[in-house]
Amino acid sequence: MERNASFFTIARSFKAIFLDSYGVVKNHRGLIPGVQGTINYLRDSGKTLRILTNDASRSPEQQAARFEHQGLKGLQPEEIITSGMMAHMYLVHKAKSGRVAYLGTPDAAAYILRADCPSVPVSDIDLDDIDDISAMVFLDDEGFDWNQDINKTVNLLRKRNIPAIVANSDKLYPVAQNDVSIATGGIARLVESILNRNFIHFGKPDSQMFSYAFDHINQYGQFGKSDILMVGDTLHTDILGGNKFGVATALVFTGNTSPDTVDLDISASGIIPDYICPSIVH
């Protein structure tokens, strides 16, 4: 493990850089100051770039537009890979008939669920009429009534033995310096523990996003795993996922992990990044 390295120096050794979004490129305040310089540097030095995000609430096109709106120029939708895309591909192959029930916003439903397959928000389900429901998808932490609709989801899954899919497995996301909100993965885990069931989780640390990004960049060039650096702020998702997939990993301190507790976090989790750097802007 190499500490306090400059991100620019580390990046020189790799042909492709995978960046987590929240906590690396932006945070609750907006863009991390100086990040445009980093993106420009990576472009100018010919690096291949992908954003790998456990965000299922927006499509890559919407995320690229949001980056642009926040002032970060030059990220293409094709460079943004989301856990929602992985859930969508699964549903295309696995949920071919019946109605798909979901918790989340209509926006997330429009992008993740199959356009040719009827879907229904849990709030609109009549629990006496659920025989045709073929899957349950946890899309987003917004867009529903937590009390009524989580209870309804528990009852739906008690009555129907159908696959339950979690489009973003993050448990929490930061909303201020020291405060977090419960994310979709946290809601799904609550329901899993009540029902003693394991759902199908998409997003880092699972390997689908890494495999997809790896295959995707190899359509445009030739990359081995040793050519790739995964950069993230979270040990349990970005760093564990990158380590398991076999690419180099760099932990930054602009999000979930603080320099004050990093040693404890690493020894308690056993998840060891190859590099630790303060941020991607130095």
Question: Min. distance of Cβ 255 from Mg ion in angstroms?
Answer: 5
- As a whole number of angstroms, the distance between CA 201 and CA 170 comes to 10
Residue 2 is classified by DSSP as: B
Question: Min. distance of Cβ 218 from Mg ion in angstroms?
Answer: 25
**Which listed residue (17, 19, 23, 188) binds Mg ion by CB under 5 A?**
23
Question: Min. distance of Cβ 160 from Mg ion in angstroms?
Answer: 34
- As a whole number of angstroms, the distance between CA 163 and CA 160 comes to 9
77 token code pair: 């939708």
- As a whole number of angstroms, the distance between CA 111 and CA 114 comes to 8
Do residues 272 and 240 lie in contact, with contact meaning Cβ atoms separated by under 8 Å? no
164 token code pair: 């339950």
Cβ closest to Mg ion, residue 134 vs residue 208: 208
Task: By CB under 5 A, tell whether 140 contacts Mg ion.
Answer: no
Question: Min. distance of Cβ 252 from Mg ion in angstroms?
Answer: 9
Nearest to 84 by CA among 67, 105, 66, 109: 109
- Specify the pairing of strand 133-138 against strand 99-103: parallel
- As a whole number of angstroms, the distance between CA 81 and CA 164 comes to 22
Interface of this chain with Mg ion, residues 221 to 280, rule: CB under 5 A: 233-234, 255
Q: How many residues bind Mg ion (CB under 5 A)?
A: 6
With CB under 5 A as the contact rule, which of the stretches 19-27, 37-45, 174-182, 209-217 interacts with Mg ion?
19-27
**Which listed residue (22, 202, 210, 245) binds Mg ion by CB under 5 A?**
22
Question: Min. distance of Cβ 254 from Mg ion in angstroms?
Answer: 9
Task: By CB under 5 A, tell whether 170 contacts Mg ion.
Answer: no
Question: Min. distance of Cβ 275 from Mg ion in angstroms?
Answer: 16
3-state secondary structure of 135: strand
Task: By CB under 5 A, tell whether 185 contacts Mg ion.
Answer: no
Task: By CB under 5 A, tell whether 141 contacts Mg ion.
Answer: no
Cβ closest to Mg ion, residue 48 vs residue 257: 257
Whats the size of the chain, residue-wise? 282
Cβ closest to Mg ion, residue 23 vs residue 273: 23
Residue type, 256: N
Give contact residues for Mg ion (rule: CB under 5 A).
Answer: 20, 22-23, 233-234, 255
